Amino acid sequence: MNKTTSGWINGFLGVLIFSGSLPATRVAVVDFDPLFLTVCRAAIAGVIAGALLLVFRQQRPIRSDIVPLLMVALGVVVGFPLLTALALQYVTSAHAILFVGLLPLATAIFGVLRGGERPRPAFWIFSTLGSSIVVGFALTQGLASSPVGDAFMLAAIIACGYGYAEGARLSRRLGGWQVISWALVLSLPFMLLLSIIYMPVTWTGIGHPALFSLAYVSLFSMLIGFVFWYRGLAQGGIAAVGQLQLLQPFFGLLLASLVLHESIGWPIFTVNIAVVLCVALARRFSANKFSPPAPITQNYNK
């Protein structure tokens, strides 16, 4: 299996895992304060990530990696989870999920700005078309909307796109799971402190669905998903593999329908076929002039 194919497989697995994030967050914010949910999920994932780094004796990042890792943490450890949790107080998870249709385009733009990638012009046509199809579908469904919730989701997409691109750039040298692990560890002291400050006064009113959702977003959305996702972006290209996120809204909507019983229509399947075609065509025209640098040390890519 060549590196590009492996990148697409890893990216697809990451998208599948991330698809459950918004439905799980929607369930969790029923009983948890959004700020507590954000810091607690990061704290739990940070403790696990720290243990993994110790067990596998990973070399510490060099000084020049610290600021980029902090930016990754700001984008995907704090920014996206907090902003989406706030948004889900105003809109349904089905509505919020459809904003993810803008994420591939945001990731590709930051891939150019931060990752040095230069996709061919046709790539941008199909990337924009795919995002437009997803957003257009959202507008035709009449899903419950809120200006405040939409603003939070738009900010979340920008923060996440930057965090994905920055993390993928670092993953070319540090390794996929190492990047998200170090980002979580760097933010751990603050996340633990805030978790204690914002911890619920009593846990008696918190149901099992909220607890299970907290476990999912902590272990899968915050850590395991990124292991596959950053590795996929680094192997297959940020802009190219990032287009797989166009499929995430549809996986997420199916979960929202099955778990939360939120209404979705049959046209979603027709739209999904169109989106798959856009992803395939974007992949075909994603070749760029950028060649990822070779890893500096073998230890980083265990």
Predicted confidence at residue 294, as pLDDT, reads 42
Query: How many other CB atoms are found less than 10 A from the CB of residue 92?
Result: 20
What count of other Cβ atoms lies within 10 Å of the Cβ of residue 291? 7
Three-class SS of residue 95?
A: helix
Please give the torsion angle defined by the CA atoms of residues 112, 288, 80 and 220, in that order, rounded to the nearest 10 degrees: -160
pLDDT of residue 291: 44
- Per DSSP, 193 falls in state H
Question: How far is 42 from 258, CA to CA, in rounded Å?
Answer: 27
Which residues in the chain come in under a pLDDT of 70?
94, 138-139, 141-145, 262-266, 268-269, 287-302
Both structure tokens of 126: 């199909």
Whether residue 217 contacts residue 24, with contact meaning beta carbons closer than 8 Å, is answered with yes
Taking CA 96 as the corner, what is the angle to CA 251 and CA 243, rounded to the nearest 5 degrees?
50
Q: What pLDDT, in 10s, does the model give residues 106-160?
A: 999 998 888 788 888 888 998 899 888 877 776 676 655 678 888 899 999 999 9
CA–CA gap between residue 253 and residue 274 (Å, rounded): 16
231 torsion bin: left (phi>0), alpha (psi -120 to 50), beta (else): alpha
Q: State whether the Cα torsion 74-77-79-82 is positive or negative.
A: negative
pLDDT given at position 283: 78
Q: What's the whole-model pTM score? A: 0.83
